[in-house]
């Protein structure tokens, strides 16, 4: 999954009583405080209505709630929940749904105040990155977070005898009734890995997974993140998926890694989810022979809904990616499907501002669109600008060598730049051959440059670095003979 910005307490500021105190017993699970706030009067009144956000049309709020429910439902199903479980979670999550709508109003405040309706795509693009952020932080406990919002889940322990006096103006609110949290669910799931509860042995699917090479420690780690993994049936879920992957040509040794990266695959139906998704992508030009590579790189590719796939793919078309190149992009960089369309748009706009052909860059190096603009892209651009390159130079460099922005400034670019200054080449040669930054400084650049200097000849930067050792020796010898003649 791509790194998303941290959730801030200000994100929840629209909820009533956001600044009130919160009395929590010592049995509370230690979750970050940034998500949970006491709502003294709000909780006491039992009011679950969305707080006023400027007097916008009520019908828009109702519509946005339904859209928010749909986005959350799809997101939960993407994480492996069944349709029924996702529906039950939605039915228990009125306050969280209100919070999502509040977030929409925060992101699109000006449009809401004038009564302008948001499109389904705009709502999805605003909420999905936020849900991804929460999932990254809370994992499978997100279900408990959503259902019990804004009260943090606590350990399973009775607090029935907790003395609670009538609420008074400004008083703090005790934690409500005890909640069975994912902590106990995880413990039960972990215990099941070695004892299925009836035979005293591990469940059949766990034995099967160890037999195909998945280590027990890996299975435990997966279960901690995704407790449902301990309860999948062997014949109904695990074995059909494994055989499906093997039939695609995925090496048996890759299976443990794929399942550890995306255990939710086990919960999806082959006939209703995986095969239709593959068929859809193949019809768009994805090479059947490349499925092994794509799934190994990004197993989550098969878990996205048709709606999410179409949203991202349509955006790639809008950004200038030719339809005939889509299959190659999804094979080379399938992770782009997991990126927020908001982030992809922002990255495309940034490269466009430099004069880069975005469609061409998407085709050559889609991985670039997973980089953070502030933390990675802008510092690399500044690095070259500070050294006298213009934006046109940078655009040519990134268009020629798409991986340029993925390289470390401190460990790669700076030391190689310092050495370049000692070489006999002008800066314009870096514009022509930015691949220079992709070669090892100690293993290739320095030794070959030293050999060339000792030979008394000059080779182009491209010839110096891009050829095999034998070809390099041959070019060097030919140039020496030419100079001697």
Whether pLDDT at 312 is above 70? yes
339-358 mean pLDDT? 93
Whether pLDDT at 15 is above 70? no
Going by C-alpha positions, the residue among 334, 333, 278 that lies closest to residue 306 is 278
> Residue 85 — very low, low, confident or very high, per pLDDT cuts 50/70/90?
confident
187-206 mean pLDDT? 88
Whether pLDDT at 16 is above 60? no
Task: Return the pLDDT at 474.
Answer: 92
229-258 mean pLDDT? 92
Answer with the residue of higher pLDDT: 110 or 75. Answer: 75
The tens digit of pLDDT for each residue in 376-399 reads 999 999 999 999 999 999 999 999
Burial (CB count within 10 angstroms: exposed 0-12, middle 13-18, buried 19+), residue 420: buried
The tens digit of pLDDT for each residue in 401-428 reads 999 999 999 999 999 999 999 999 999 9
* Residue 51: partners with Cβ closer than 8 Å, 6 or more residues away: 14, 15, 16, 98, 102
The tens digit of pLDDT for each residue in 251-309 reads 999 999 999 999 989 988 999 999 999 999 988 888 878 888 889 889 988 888 888 89
| Of 81-90, 162-171, 448-457, 471-480, the least confident | 162-171
The tens digit of pLDDT for each residue in 92-146 reads 888 888 888 888 887 777 666 656 677 777 788 888 888 887 877 676 677 878 8
């Amino acid at each position: 999954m791509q790194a998303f910005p941290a959730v801030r307490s200000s994100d929840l500021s629209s909820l009533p009583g956001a600044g009130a105190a919160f009395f929590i017993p010592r049995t509370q699970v230690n979750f970050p405080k940034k998500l949970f706030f006491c709502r003294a009067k709000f909780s006491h009144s039992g009011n679950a209505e969305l707080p006023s956000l400027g007097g916008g049309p009520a019908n828009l709020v109702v519509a946005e709630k339904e859209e928010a429910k749909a986005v959350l439902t799809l997101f939960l199903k993407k994480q492996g929940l069944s349709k029924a479980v996702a529906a039950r979670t939605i039915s228990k999550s009125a306050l969280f749904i209100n919070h999502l709508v509040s977030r929409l109003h925060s992101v699109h405040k000006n449009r809401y105040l004038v009564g302008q309706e948001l499109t389904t795509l705009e709502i999805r693009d605003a909420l999905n990155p936020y849900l991804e952020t929460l999932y990254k932080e809370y994992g499978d406990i997100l279900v408990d977070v959503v259902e019990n919002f804004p009260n943090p889940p606590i350990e399973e322990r009775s607090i029935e005898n907790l003395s609670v006096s009538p609420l008074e103006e400004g008083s703090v609110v005790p934690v409500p009734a005890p909640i069975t949290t994912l902590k106990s669910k995880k413990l039960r799931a972990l215990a099941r890995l070695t004892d299925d509860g009836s035979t005293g042995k591990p469940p059949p699917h766990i034995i099967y997974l160890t037999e195909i090479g998945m280590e027990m420690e890996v299975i435990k780690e997966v279960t901690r993140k995704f407790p449902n993994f301990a309860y999948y049936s062997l014949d109904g879920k695990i074995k059909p998926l494994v055989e499906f992957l093997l039939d695609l040509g995925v090496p048996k040794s890759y299976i443990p890694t794929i399942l550890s990266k995306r255990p939710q695959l086990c919960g999806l139906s082959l006939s209703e989810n995986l095969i239709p998704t593959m068929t859809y992508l193949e019809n768009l030009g994805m090479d059947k022979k490349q499925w092994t590579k794509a799934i190994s790189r990004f197993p989550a590719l098969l878990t996205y809904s048709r709606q999410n796939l179409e949203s991202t793919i349509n955006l790639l078309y809008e950004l200038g990616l030719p339809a005939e190149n889509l299959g190659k992009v999804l094979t080379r960089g399938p992770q782009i499907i997991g990126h927020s369309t908001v982030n992809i748009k922002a990255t495309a706009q940034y490269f466009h501002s430099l004069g880069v052909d975005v469609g061409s860059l998407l085709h050559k190096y889609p991985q670039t669109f997973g980089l953070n603009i502030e933390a990675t892209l802008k510092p690399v651009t500044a690095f070259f600008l500070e050294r006298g390159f213009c934006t046109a130079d940078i655009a040519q460099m990134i268009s020629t060598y798409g991986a340029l922005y993925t390289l470390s400034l401190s460990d790669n670019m700076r030391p190689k730049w310092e050495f370049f200054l000692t070489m006999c080449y002008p800066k314009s040669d870096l514009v022509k051959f930015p691949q220079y930054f992709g070669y090892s400084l100690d293993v290739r650049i320095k030794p070959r440059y030293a050999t060339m200097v000792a030979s008394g000849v000059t080779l182009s930067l491209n010839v110096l670095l891009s050829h095999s050792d034998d070809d390099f020796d041959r070019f060097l010898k030919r140039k020496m003979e030419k100079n001697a003649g």
